[in-house]
Structure formats: structure tokens, C-alpha cells
Chain A
Amino acid sequence: DAGVTQSPTHLIKTRGQHVTLRCSPISGHKSVSWYQQVLGQGPQFIFQYYEKEERGRGNFPDRFSARQFPNYSSELNVNALLLGDSALYLCASTEGAGGYGYTFGSGTRLTVV
């Protein structure tokens, strides 16, 4: 079975641009969560979606948005990119809405220049 897949794996953007990151969960998993990990820190929660509805949002500005599609895949969008948005963006899927049994993808490494 395929694990959690994220695309692209690496991305370089310029300040002020917009970016869309994509995540496909494990088959049968209905929840997707997004995390941002800056260098030297633990992952920080951005969003959780379950059954296509937002179930939680972390302390991130409105420039960050996400959605989940009928096939449970998800997109994370970031507008008006700042240098500080440079990070590894991780997607995790779980079967239910609970925070256990996480399977993480390999992440998208975003560099803003």
C-alpha cells in the first residue's frame, strides 16, 4: 500500500508569491493534518481536516488555508509568502479524527527567497 504522498518534494518561491502543497492520505484514512517544521524545531500544527471539514486550526495567519477533497486528499495554500515561511511542511493522515496512529508523509521543503 502506498503511504502518505506529498508533492512537490522541494520548492523555491519568491517573497510575495503563492504556493500550493498537496497531500494524498493512506487509502481508507479520512483525516489529514498539516504541520510546519522550521529548522531545529518540532513540527507545529497548522490544520486538521476530517471528512472534508476543518476540525482544528493552529496559530497561523490567514495567509494559510487548506481544504480536503471528496477523495480525502488535501491542499495547503500559502499566500503572500514571507522568508519566515521557509520550512518543511508535513502532512499526516489517520483513519479517524483522533490524534493517534499518525502516518506522516516525507514532506515538502519550501524555500522562500
Chain B
Amino acid sequence: GIQVEQSPPDLILQEGANSTLRCNFSDSVNNLQWFHQNPWGQLINLFYIPSGTKQNGRLSATTVATERYSLLYISSSQTTDSGVYFCAVPAYGGSQGNLIFGKGTKLSVKP
């Protein structure tokens, strides 16, 4: 099945710093999503981005489907950005509701 790898696994930043999170996937996909899981476990959908670039405030995401990777950019980080960031793609051959998640990047933003 499709494999999803995220890097780095852990990231510690000072407030105000910028960061780039990476998601590599092993097969062609028609759908890629980024999620943020806060320290209380809530998963929030950040972007649905099968290709191209999208921006939402201090966050932006780029997916290069032909090269099988996606990047999540966080600018001017804040302590509230802390948590785990996941990317997810549909499982090959599965129902579209079957998402394969990476292991995540744990981000800690220090004041």
C-alpha cells in the first residue's frame, strides 16, 4: 500500500521563527490533506491540497504531485502552533474515506 513519510519527526522553535514540514508519499495521489492535532487531541483540517499552493494566514502548503511530496510552511510561529502536524492521503484502492496518515511532525514553539 501507499507509504507516507513525514520529516522532521520533532521540531523545536522559538516564537517568531519560520519552519518547513515535509511529507513524502510513495504513489500517485489525487488528494492530500494537512492536519494539526492540538495537545488535547483535536485534529483540525488545515489544507486540502492535491496540487499547487494554498495559503491561510501564516500557514501555506505546496504539493508537487509529480514528485510525490508536499510542504507545509509556518511563518512567524506562535506558541499556539504547538502540536503534531499530520499529512494524509487516500489509501490506494480503498474507499476515499480511507486516509493513510504519516507519523507526524511534533512541533514545540517556545515563548
Chain A residues with a Cβ under 8 A of chain B: 31, 33, 40-45, 48, 50, 55-56, 58, 88, 90, 92, 94, 97-104, 106-107, 109
Most buried by B among A45, A58, A88, A98: A45
For this complex, into which size category does the number of interface residues on chain B fall? 20 to 34
A to B contact number (C-beta, < 8 Å): 78
User: How far in angstroms is the closest Cβ of chain A from B6?
Assistant: 8
Residues of A within 8 Å of B96, CB to CB, are 97-100
Please report which residues of chain B, range 63-111, place their CB below 8 angstroms from some CB of chain A when the two chains form the complex: 86, 88, 90-91, 94-104
B103–A41 touching, CB < 8 Å: yes
Query: How far is it, in angstroms, between the C-alpha of A42 and the C-alpha of B106 when the chains are bound?
Result: 11
User: How far in angstroms is the closest Cβ of chain B from A72?
Assistant: 14
User: How far in angstroms is the closest Cβ of chain A from B17?
Assistant: 25
Query: How far is it, in angstroms, between the C-alpha of A69 and the C-alpha of B44 when the chains are bound?
Result: 25
